[in-house]
Every structure is written in C-alpha cells, then in structure tokens.
Amino acid sequence: MLVAVTPSGPVRGRRVAVTGLGALTCAGVGVPALWHALATATAPTSMRIGAFDTSHLGGPKELRRLDPFALYALVAADEAWCQSGLSGPLDDAGSIVTTGIGGLQSVLEQDVVLAQKGPDRVSPFLVPMMMPNAATAAVSMRFGLGGPCETVTTACAAGTHAIGNAARLVASGRCSVAVAGGAEAVMVQIAKAGFRNMTALSNEDLSRPFDVDRDGFVMGEGAGILILEEWDHALARGATILAEVLGAASTADAYHITAPDPVARGAIRCMELALADAELSASDVSHINAHGTSTQLNDLAESVAVRQVFGRDAPPVTSIKGHLGHSLAAAGALEGVVSVLTLQHQVIPPTAGTTKVDPAIGLDVVIGAPRPAEVNVVLSNSFGFGGHNGSVIFRRVVT
C-alpha cells in the first residue's frame, strides 16, 4: 500500500525538467563515454579516473586549489551546463553538489607536509580544499548561481538526495534552475584499509551485484551532475528536455550505523513515498536502477524491499556499480544520469560482473547484455551507511 503524502511532498509542485547531464568516471570523460561503457557486461580493469583536460576550467594555479573531488564536480558540471544551453549569472539558480568524504586526498597530503616540514608549511588552502561544500561552492562560482548553495552529506545516498532536494527547490518555485549531483575522490590507502577492515570490500576486487558469489563492493571515483529546470522556463527558452523528475523521497532505517535493516522497513517506505509523491502506482515503474553494491547484506535487503513494494511483477533491475565501482556520494548522482540515458535510449544496461543471480534475490536482474525495453518510468535507489535511504523517479519525455 502506498503511503499518502500531502501536496507539500518532496517534488510535488511545478514540473521539473532535466536539461543537462554530465559525468566523469573510470569509463572516461563525458556522458557518451559512460553510456558506451555500460553497453558491455565486462567490468573495467580499474575504477580510477584517467587523465583528463582541465584547461577550459581555469589556469593551473586556480585549479591546484581544488581537491580532486571538487575538480571532478566542475568537469561534470561544465558538460551538463553546456548541454543545457543556460548562461549565467542567475540569481535564482541553486546548486546542490554533494560528497560523502570531501577533500580526503588534500588532508592526507598536508598531513605529510605537517609531519615532515612543520605547521608553518601547511597549505593555507587546506581548509577550503577539504570542506565537503567545496564542490558545490566551486560550481556556483563558475556559473554565477546566486540561489541556495548546499551540500548533503548522507554517505552513499547523498547523490540521490541532492537530486531530490534540488528538484524540491525548482518545484517549490524557489529556483528556476538547480545544479544537482555528487563527486567523490577517496581511492586512497587509508580509505581502502578502513572499508576492508570492516569487511565491506570484495576480497577479489570484483564487483558483482546480486550475484550468488558476491563478497563486497569495489571502490570507485567520479562525478555525476544533472541540470534541473522548471518546465515552462525550459520550454520558453527552447531547451531540449531530456526527462522529467516526477518524485523523490528520503527516509531513515533507524537501525544500525553500517548494516541495512534486514526487513528493509526504511527502504520500503522510501520507495512508497517516492511513488506517492510522483502520483504513480508500483505497476507504472518500467525499470529500477538499484543501489546494488555487491555486498551480501545490502543486495539482499534491497531485494526484500523491492519485492515488498512491487510484488511478483517487479520490473527489471540493474546496478551500474559493476561497471563503475561504488563511488559513495557520487554513485546516486551517476545513477540518476544513467536513469535518464536509459529513458532516452530505451535500453537497460546489464549488471557487469554478475553471471549467476543469487536465488535469494528473487528479481529480474539484467545481466549479460543490454536489454532493449519500453522504459517510461525509472526508479533510482540509494541506501547509505547510517541508514540513509533515497529514491528518485524519472519519466521519459516523448517528442
């Protein structure tokens, strides 16, 4: 049963269009590289981002003052902004670009400086480089966005929450435009050691969501950005509308700091609230872009939630973490980008690395090859440490 919400729910209000997409991943720079990589069921050999050009974003001195996560966000945001055709400054435009960890690389580098050269040699730019809000601040300054400039730090659900919160700003009339997404750059030894020692990482460095032999996630890095815009505002300027954000929701498990609730009460409520916000029934959803981290507990709990909400006729499910690894706060943002691409291309990407779906999952997990399908509505899920749950719903736009 759907949970009733009031008209002041997460996205209820003015229609919210997606008019720009940007991505930086281990697949390469840009959305086309990402979509091309998703066409195969083979996992990449590295989840790290390769070399990329930043000359169009500023001079070397300026860019050195950004931690990699903030630079990743700028690269993805620039692609999305250019696609949208918008120009700034815009005093009523907002930005919500989030991260789970922030400038960890800068902290570690300056800790070495402190130990070897003393406190007087620590960079005066350390604090603005390590701040979790550095990415969204950089985005707002680059494009002249004078509206709300905020950071949501809700672990692996943060990217999805950023999209939902930005959509709320547009739907409520507070902003005509909002830049939403997430970025992460934490593939450093201390982060890997921490995750590995809590037995969250795969011992084989292989991400295989929902597979019978899954044994943990593989860390990734990257950034995903969506430009959200009030529907009539986009139409008035002749913008190409890529998709519509219909609904979103956020709940808490209130259960454990790392483990998901095994009966998935928070995840169930989150999907139900998102559906109610979008004024849809479960049968309206064509496809689920799952959180699907490749851990035993998370994948099973998510499948419990999906089966409870959608019943025996649950739509096909995929997880792109087999392709990209788990990029923490950037994951939900990139999954939002891929959800829009799935609607545009009418093809569901396969779940890379997965060869035999665990019978306990009980879902139609797309594996082996891309699946052409009629996809009109996509539900994207994110579930993070701390019990944070996020769901966002996108609808296809037929021109």
256-312 confidence digits (pLDDT tens): 999 999 999 999 999 999 999 999 999 999 999 999 999 999 999 999 999 999 999
Q: How far is 154 from 170, CA to CA, in rounded Å?
A: 21
d(CA 393, CA 222): 22
Given CATH 3.40.47.10, say whether it is the number of domain 16-393. Answer: yes
Sign of the CA dihedral running 176, 160, 23, 138:
positive
Annotated catalytic, 326? yes
Query: Average pLDDT in the 177-195 region?
Result: 95
Q: Going by C-beta distance under 8 Å and a sequence separation of 6 or more, which residues neighbour residue 398?
A: none
Q: What is the DSSP string of 60-78?
A: HHHHTTS-HHHHHHHHHHH
Buried b (16+ CB within 10 A) or exposed e, 205-237: ebbbbbbeebbbbbbbbbbbbbbbbbbebbeee
Does the pLDDT of residue 355 top 60, yes or no? yes
For 218-249, the pLDDT digits (tens) are 999 999 999 999 999 999 999 999 999 999 99
Q: What angle do CA 174, 175, 179 make, to 5 degrees?
A: 135
Q: Are 375 and 348 in contact (CB under 8 A)?
A: yes
Q: For 49-56, what is the mean pLDDT?
A: 91
pLDDT level of residue 11 (50, 70, 90 thresholds)? low
Does the global pTM surpass 0.85? yes
**pLDDT tens digits along 59-95:** 888 898 999 999 999 999 999 999 999 998 999 999 9
Given the residues 161, 287, 291, 323, the one annotated as active site:
291
Instruction: Tell me which residue of 283, 308, 307, 274 sits closest to 394, measured CA to CA.
Output: 274
The mean per-residue pLDDT over the stretch 4-16 comes to 61
Q: For residue 4, what are the CA distances in angstroms to 8, 165, 284?
A: 12, 20, 17
Domain segments of the chain as ranges = 16-393
Query: Residues 149, 156, 175, 270: which is the catalytic one?
Result: 156
292 to 55, 87, 323: CA distances (angstroms): 36, 37, 12
Query: What is the predicted pLDDT for the residue at 44?
Result: 85
